[in-house]
Amino acid sequence: MSTQSLVSAQTSLAEQSPAHKVECYVQEHLKRYLHELSDLCAIDSGTAYKAGVDEVALYLAGRMRGLDMDVNLFENEKWGNDVYGVLKGTGKGIIVLLGHMDTVYPIGTAAARPLRVENNKIYGPGVIDMKGCILSAIYALEALQSINYHDFAEIRFLCVSDEEISDRHSKEIIRQVCNGCHAALVLEAARENGDLVSARKGGAWYKLRAYGHSAHAGVEPEKGSNAILELAHQVVKLQALNGWREGLTINTGRIHGGTATNVVPDFAEAFIDIRFARTEDRVALEQHWNELLQQHLIPGVELSIEIDPDDRDPMACTPENLHMARRAQEIAQELGFEVRHAPTGGISDANYASGFGYPALDGLGPVGGLDHSPDEYMELDSVAPRTALLAGLIASIGTRAE
């Protein structure tokens, strides 16, 4: 290569954006990424398996320390430990990265289904939900460091241990970590079609209980008050409210009651999932639902409702969220691909960050799908560009935040 060509190549590299440089870095280190991902997916880390989640936390803590992050473990007696790293920079923006280490799979799944690559797909338990996504963020930070990029005030990287369940201990930790941030970037996978997530519905969970009076079903059924029958009527009335407000969905997911077929049941219970695009729609539904519950159909049956404390506010597509999504689209175009953003009815820790009042964007991991199934996968050729997109967004927020 001539001196002029060499200078031209060096100039071209120097003029590349941070996102371009990160993409090149990840492509060059993709084999190492896959090796690390294989190690992570070889660890059973179902939410209830504390030892496995703690092992993942220690692994990530070591990787974070290798990036010169100040690392803390939030220790728990019952659940896995949460890991939190802070990287200081010289710029303006405070950026939060949110991930989770727990999976839904039982002990033994990791050994039964080791990581494998077939064509363009990487298969394994937790590969996309979300060990591969957390590792992608690690590589984004590693690549930014490799080009001496520090134009941010702080990057706060939190990986929690309890995202897959409703009995959450980490909500207040997330609140503390988000305090004063300019943006929360949530590392759930991009949708199967590659979309980012700019809005999520809120969610609330209820137990509807019916208390009746038992009696012999053959000898004197008239002396009983059938709790199952009353609950069935109430569930049908509630389900009819699907779509009562735009985006409102209601699902009765579990129901049980009674003791024996020859006994009029004195108890029944239903578990109900409600999703809503706006908090005011939930409030209106609850008011209307309470009115319906006053209309008992079976004499002698009483009803009660218990609300799960881990409800979630919607992640609305605020102007700030929309601005981040559009900036992500610009970065993707710079990298040579197109990306869209869309709302979803699913819930993530982005709901917490948004509910606390901070701008949030989700779906910033690689592309994949079929979460929680034996066919869970990640698209291999999405790792480098999506890691670069995340890094580009970090750089953009870090530089431009006011």
pLDDT tens column, 87-96? 999 999 999 9
Residue 290: inside a domain, yes or no?
yes
Residues with active-site annotation: 102, 163
Show which of 307, 325, 346 is a domain's final residue.
307
Strands (DSSP E) contained in 233-297 are 249-257, 267-276
Residue, of 270 and 6, whose pLDDT is higher:
270
Mean pLDDT of 136-162: 97
Show which of 255, 289, 307 is a domain's final residue.
307
What DSSP element (H or E) covers 366?
A: none
* pLDDT at residue 16 in the model: 82
Total domains present in the chain: 2
Q: Do 284 and 238 share a structural domain?
A: yes
Mean pLDDT of 180-190: 97
The 10 Å Cβ neighbour count of residue 301 is 24
Residue closest to 377 by CA, chosen among 115, 71, 21: 115
Give the Cα separation of 56 and 367 in Å (integer).
Answer: 22
Q: Do 161 and 21 share a structural domain?
A: yes
DSSP, collapsed to helix, strand or coil, labels residue 323 as: helix
Name the pLDDT band for 8 (thresholds 50, 70, 90): very low
Q: Do 361 and 221 share a structural domain?
A: no
- CATH code for position 216: 3.30.70.360
Residue 255: inside a domain, yes or no?
yes
- CATH code for position 147: 3.40.630.10
Residue 10: inside a domain, yes or no?
no
Residue 265: inside a domain, yes or no?
yes
Instruction: Bin 33: left if φ > 0, else alpha if -120 < ψ < 50, else beta.
Output: alpha
- Average pLDDT across the chain, whole number: 94
Percent of the chain with pLDDT over 90: 93
For the entire predicted model, the pTM comes to 0.89
* pLDDT at residue 371 in the model: 93
Which structural domain, as residue segments, surrounds residue 162?
Answer: 15-200+314-400
